Structures are given as structure tokens and as C-alpha cells.
Amino acid sequence: MFAWNEAAWFSILMGSALKSTVALGAAWLLAFLLRARSAAVRHLVWTAAAAAVLALPFLSVALPALRVPLTAALFPAPAQEIFHATGSSTPDAAAGGLRSATDGSAVTPLEPAGRSPGWRIWLMLAWAAGSALAFAQILAACAVVWRARRSAKPFSDRALCNALSRALGIHSPVEVLETGAGSMPVTSGLLHSSIFMPAEVWEWSEERRRIVLLHELAHVRRGDVATHWLARTALTVYWWNPLAWMAWREFLKERERATDDLVLNTGERASEYAGHLLEVARTMQTAPAIGWAAVAMARRSQLEGRLLAILDSGVNRKAPGRAAALMTALLAVGIIAPLAAVRAQETKAEAMPADVDATIRVARSEKNYEALENAAQVAEQARKYDTAYKLLEAAVEIRAGVSGEQSVEHGIGLLKLADLQHKRHENKSAEALYMRAAQLLGDRPEAARALIHLGVAAITKKNFPPAFDAFQHAQRVDPAQAGLALMWMAVVRQAERNLDQAELLYQNALAVQDPKSTEAATILKVYAHFLRREGRPEEASKLDARAMAVQKANAKPAPAASTSVYHVGASVAAPKVLSKVDPEYTDEARAALLEGTEVVTVEIGPDGLAHNAQVLQGLGLGLDENGLDAISQWRFQPGMKDGQPVTVMATIEINWRLL
């Protein structure tokens, strides 16, 4: 559970930290835009912001994930040293006869994460400690208010309180109490409002007594104690964020100005009200602890700005109506809901999860299937196929739970799981998954991949009619795949020895396919092999030349090498291959009789492994991926410079041949 707690809480807290900063920044912008409106409107904005940042952690867990991709292009440097490998097979080799994995690909059990607290734990503990201390101060303030209420005596002029309450539209009874001498008038109480007046209240003039009580009742009318607790709780949770403290000060400033506006709207003269406020602030003191749980009449730090606003006849003092409050709430929901649902999605996960079960539990709690799919990609690249399967299986379950068993999203998840099983040569399982995915995806373009795999599986079984039907279906549902689908239909007719129709289909495939695409190069290669088998080598050579031109045009340019990556030369000795694994033919390439050369650039590190592999010239139909998979298992004696192992650039050519 230690690993689960760390992963879950760190994900939630760090996400909330970033999103709360965005939310508070949006509140600042909105308050600035509303600077010409009344203080009550701006106070409403800050209240909504406090509620929003408090809701963030809960919404982040409850809402389905909204992915924001983060992309980065990684290009390896140009290579000089060239190594060669050969991938070979027979055209009629049975898929079931292939070994499931090359040497060294066995799944290694994942070790559980270490139990000593890391920096993430300490960071979360610091956050929690600060919040706990702030909550303790709130509880202490509540205790002070409770003791003050216990020792206070009732305010004797109930008639004045009732009259002012009716003037402000307050229908529930308000308890007014007399406290110790010299204390600042405050308002407290969430369910039952209480106003604390100082013992000197009977020494004041009747006008001052009325104005001070009117001010405190205005806090009751506005519900300021409840919003005070809301904003104070938000500050307690995000105590480390400077924006939260700035928002808290703005909240207090706008609250008092909005209360002043409400008092002035009852008909009080601004100059007289300002004079009484100044005198109360000068002679009365607020107990520091009470300010955490109650609303005081005045704060000396904000008094000057309040007095200027009171005396400024041009200030907008209109209180917002229900429509404005509703619009503010809807705006807050409109901003915070998608913000809470946002999850970062990188194009490539950086590390294998330390605890797969914990990762799955966190993803289930967040309904975050993409996190599992990214982790599965990492596991697959590390040849941890059992782990990848477990992660993808859980991702499929989440997709079904979020979107439904019959949904397209579920079908896409099944398609990813089928691709993994196909890579593992678990052909029976892969075929069943492709079949189910094709049923769910129906006539959507995503179904084409499943249909093509099902067609290839039928070819390997020499079951040609259903293979042809599957490719026809793929051509219909995804026009972008029409060229490859027609090529596969030609392969079926070629296998049936219907050579005239096969050639016509090859030509149609080239006609509909973008001539500059890598798919066009694949079709040209397969068509050339057909012509060569039919005794037409000159025509085949022309198609090969066209395919080579397309491949060169699509080759990825290599950027300048890093200063830490060397080229073989006078002072740099070339690396040497110590052991290598021959790549495996894919069922698709074997069925299509595809041959050719794959060119890959790599950086051979001091650890004797190939890093940052990139296909510069590929063939398609899964051969490129299998070539990269084989290269990842090669072991080298690293290149040397001045007697020390260094990272050296190299090129690997893989010749794919059918025997």
C-alpha cells in the first residue's frame, strides 16, 4: 500500500497544485476585467475561485480524463559505422511454428518499489504538515469564539437589532452579545449567526451603535461567515502558494468593501459612516486568533483603501442579483471541470512503473486508461510482454467501464490488446481479439487494421475467400487504407493463381495510393516481387527503383550530432558486435512476399547497447518494428576514444529475404 499511496496522492496533489495556480490566475484576470463593477461582484469571483480550487482534487479523481498531448521530436545524429543483419524466412512458414520470443525476451518479474521515503513523500508530508498547522489555528480560533460566547451576555437593545434586520431583509433571528472591553465587533456562526459587540457599546452615541450593528448585520445578510470559512479553508490547503495568499487578501478587501456598499445603500451618509468606521478601527483591537474563524469589522492594513472607496461617489455599489451569481457559478464550473479532467499525456512514457498493481489501481480510480496504455508501451519496448498484457487488459476494462461494452472506445482498446498478442505470436488470442474489435468498430475507419489482420490470418490458413472479403471490407471503411487493402486483395488472387486479376489489383492499388507515401513503396516492392516471379525482371527492376526513390524521399533527416556522440575516425575506434539476434519475419510480410533492406541509425553507448534507434529507410508490414526489436537485443563492444568507452554513431542495415 505504501507504493499505492505515494503514487496516488502525489498524482492528485501535484495535479491540484498546477491546476489551482491556473484557476487562481484566471480569477485574477476576471477580477481585473471586472474592476469597474461593484466590490460585491469581485468578491463573488474570489468566492467562486476558492470553491473551485477546493473542488479540484475531488473532480480530478471523479471526472473522466481529458488528455492533453505533449509532443517532442527526437532525431538521432547521422551515423558512420555500418553493421549488417539478415532476416529470413520461407514464404510458406507457418505462423504457429515461430518461436514466441527471441533469446533474452523472457518476462522479468517487477521488483516492488523501495519502502524508504523518497523526495515525493517528504514533499507531500511538508504540504500536509503546513495544512495541519493551519487547520489547528482554525480550531484554536473556534475555541476562542466558543469561550467568548460562553462568557458574553445578551445585547439588551433587541428592538434596534430587529429593526435593522428587517431593513436588510434578514428573516432568521440573529444573536447579539456583549463581550469584553476593547474588542473589535465581529460576526461568527455558520448555522446560527452571532454578533459580538464590545462592552463600550453603551458609551457610544446612538448613531454609532446603530451603524456598527448595521455593518455586522450586513455581513449576516451577505453570508460572509460561510464564504470566510470557504476561502480560509482554500488558503489552508494551498498555504504554500503565493497566489493563494494574494487571493485571500483580495477576498478580504472586496468583502469589506461590498459590506460597506450594502450599508451605504440603506441610506447612510458616506462621511458619517467613514468617520465611525475610522474611530472604531482606532480604538478597538481584534484578537489575532478570532480572525481565523470570524469576520471582524475592520482591519487597519486595509482601512485607507476602504475609506477612500466609501467617500468616492463614483464607485459602483450595485449588489449582484441571482442571475450574476448563477453566471459566476456556471463560469467557475466551465473553467474548473475541464481543468480538473485534464491529464498530462506524453508521447512516450519515461519509466516502467515500479508496482504494476498499484499503477492499475490508481488508473482505475482516475478512469485513466491512457496512463496504462503508455505504461504498457514502455513494458513492451522492454520486452516485458506479460506486464504489457496485464496493463492493456486493465486499460480495456476501464474503457469498457467508462464508455460501455459495445462502445467504439472499447473496440479500440481491444485492438491495442490484439496488436500486442500478435507481436507475441499468440495468434489464436490475437485473432479472437481482432474479431471482437472489428465487430465493435463496425464500419469505422479504425476497423480497417483489425480487418487486415484477420485477412492475413486467413491467408496463412489458405482460406482465401474470407481473406478477400476482409480486405474488401477494410477498403470500404477506410479510404486511407484502400491502397494497402487492394494490394492484399491482389496477394489473395496471386495465391489463387488468378494472375491477371492479381496484376489488375496491384495496378489499382498504386492508382489510389499516394505515390509519395511509404505505403506506395510497400506496394511497389510487393508488386515487383510478383513480376519477378512471373519472369518479368525488367519491369520489376523499374518498380524497385521507384520504391527506392520513395523510400529515400521519406527518409528522416538526421540532425547534427551531440558533442557527446562521436563518429568513427582517427581517434575513435569503431564498436564491434559481440552478439546479435536475427530479426523475425512478420506474418504480413511473409504473406505478401515482401523483401528489401531496412536502414536504422543508432547510438552505441559505453554500456554496449544500441540507443536512440531510428528507421531511416523502412519496408513496412511490421518488418521495421521487428528489426528495431532485434537490434535492442544486440550487444556491442563499445567504441573507444583515448582508451575510454564513448558513444559512437552507427548504421545498421537489415536485409529481409525470403528463401
Gap between the Cα atoms of 257 and 442, Å rounded: 62
Vertex 387: Cα angle to 424 and 67 (nearest 5):
100
- Return the DSSP state at 172: S
Do 466 and 429 fall into the same domain? no
Residue 637 φ/ψ, nearest 5 degrees: -85, 120
Q: Check: CB of residue 26 under 8 Å from CB of residue 328.
A: no
As a whole number, mean pLDDT of residues 38-53 equals: 91
Report CA Rg, the chain.
36
- Sign of the dihedral defined by the CA atoms of residues 177, 183, 185, 189, in that order: negative
Residue with the bigger pLDDT between 65 and 555: it is: 555
Span 433-445, average pLDDT? 91
pLDDT of residue 73: 37
Do 580 and 548 lie in one domain? The reply is no
In this prediction, residue 469 carries a pLDDT of 93
Q: Could you give the number of structural domains in the chain?
A: 3
- Buried-state track 408-420, b at ≥16 Cβ within 10 A, e below 16: bbbbbbbbbbbbb
Q: Stretch 456-467: mean pLDDT, rounded? A: 90
Check residue 113 and give its pLDDT. 37
571 with 651, same domain? yes
Question: What is the SS3 assignment for 317-351?
Answer: CCCCCHHHHHHHHHHHHHHHHHHHHEEEEECCCCC
**Average pLDDT of 414-419?**
91
Give the CATH number of the domain where residue 603 resides: 3.30.2420.10
Average pLDDT over residues 202-207: 90
pLDDT (tens digit, 9 = 90+) per residue, 587-644?
Answer: 888 888 888 788 888 889 899 898 888 888 777 888 888 888 888 889 998 888 888 8
DSSP letter for 107, please: P
Average pLDDT (447-461) is: 90
| Rounded average pLDDT over 26-42 | 91
- Within this chain, do residues 427 and 491 fall inside the same structural domain, yes or no? no
In this predicted model, what pLDDT tens digit does every residue of 226-241 receive, in sequence order?
999 999 999 999 999 9
User: Of 508, 534, 554, which residue constitutes the final position of a domain?
Assistant: 554
Q: What is the mean pLDDT of residues 27-40?
A: 91
368: Cβ contacts below 8 Å, ≥ 6 apart: 65, 343, 362, 398
3-state secondary structure of 638: coil
Instruction: Give the least confident one: 266-270, 511-515, 568-572.
Output: 568-572
Kindly state whether residues 643 and 616 are assigned to the same domain.
Answer: yes
- Percent of the chain beyond pLDDT 70? 85
**Residue 20 forms part of a structural domain:** no
Evaluate whether residue 240 is within a structural domain: no
Report the chain's mean pLDDT, rounded to a whole number.
82
pLDDT(350) > 80: no
Counting Cα atoms < 13 Å in the Cβ hemisphere of 224 gives 31
Residue 72 lies in a domain: no
pLDDT-wise least confident of 214-228, 511-525, 614-628 = 614-628
Greater confidence (69 vs 435) lies with 435
pLDDT average, residue stretch 95-110: 34
Residues 475 and 546 in one domain: yes
How far is 493 from 501, CA to CA, in rounded Å? 7
**pLDDT of the residue at 347:** 41
**DSSP-assigned letters across all residues of 439-491:** HHHTTSTTHHHHHHHHHHHHHHTT-HHHHHHHHHHHHHH-GGGHHHHHHHHHH
Asked, for residue 384, whether it belongs to a domain, the answer is yes
Confidence tier at 354 by pLDDT (50, 70, 90): low
Q: Do 484 and 548 fall within a single domain? A: yes
What pLDDT, on the 0 to 100 scale, is given for residue 348? 42
Sign of CA pseudo-dihedral 439, 441, 446, 448: positive
Does 82 have pLDDT greater than 80? no
Instruction: Examine residue 538 and state whether it is found in any structural domain, yes or no.
Output: yes
The model's confidence at residue 4, banded by pLDDT at 50, 70 and 90, is very low
- Same domain as 565, residue 529: no
Instruction: Supply the pLDDT for residue 422.
Output: 87
Predicted confidence band of residue 349 (pLDDT cuts 50, 70, 90): very low
Domain shared by 548 and 566, yes or no: no
pLDDT-derived band at 187 (thresholds 50, 70, 90) equals very high
pLDDT of residue 89: 57
Residue 91 lies in domain: 81-106+561-658
What is the band of 415 on the pLDDT scale with cuts at 50, 70, 90?
A: very high
**Nearest CA to 85 among 658, 584, 654, 583?**
654
**Claim to verify: residue 358 and residue 428 sit in the same structural domain:** yes
Global model pTM greater than 0.75: no
Same domain, 508 and 548: yes
Read off the pLDDT of each residue in 271-297 and give the average, rounded to a whole number: 82
| pLDDT at residue 657 greater than cutoff 60 | yes
Final residue of a structural domain among 554, 572, 601? 554
Tell me if 499 is assigned to some domain: yes
Q: Could you tell me if 540 and 626 lie in one domain?
A: no
Average pLDDT over residues 402-410: 91
Residue ending a domain, choose from 502, 528, 554: 554
Average pLDDT over residues 640-654: 87
Tell me the pLDDT tens digit for each residue of 289-330: 677 788 888 877 778 888 898 998 888 988 887 777 777 777
What percent of the chain is predicted at pLDDT more than 90? Answer: 27
Q: Is the pLDDT of residue 5 over 50?
A: no
Q: The domain spanning residue 501 has which CATH number?
A: 1.25.40.10
Q: Which residues of 250-263 are buried (b: 16+ CB within 10 A; e: fewer)?
A: bbbbbbbbbbbbbb
User: 238-273, pLDDT tens digit by residue?
Assistant: 999 999 999 999 999 999 999 999 999 988 899 999
pLDDT tier, 124 (very low <50, low <70, confident <90, very high otherwise)? confident
Q: Is residue 550 part of a domain?
A: yes
Amino acid identity, position 546: R
> Is 306 inside any structural domain?
no
Q: Which is nearest to 651 in space by CA: 78, 7, 3, 21?
A: 78
* Amino acid at residue number 558: A
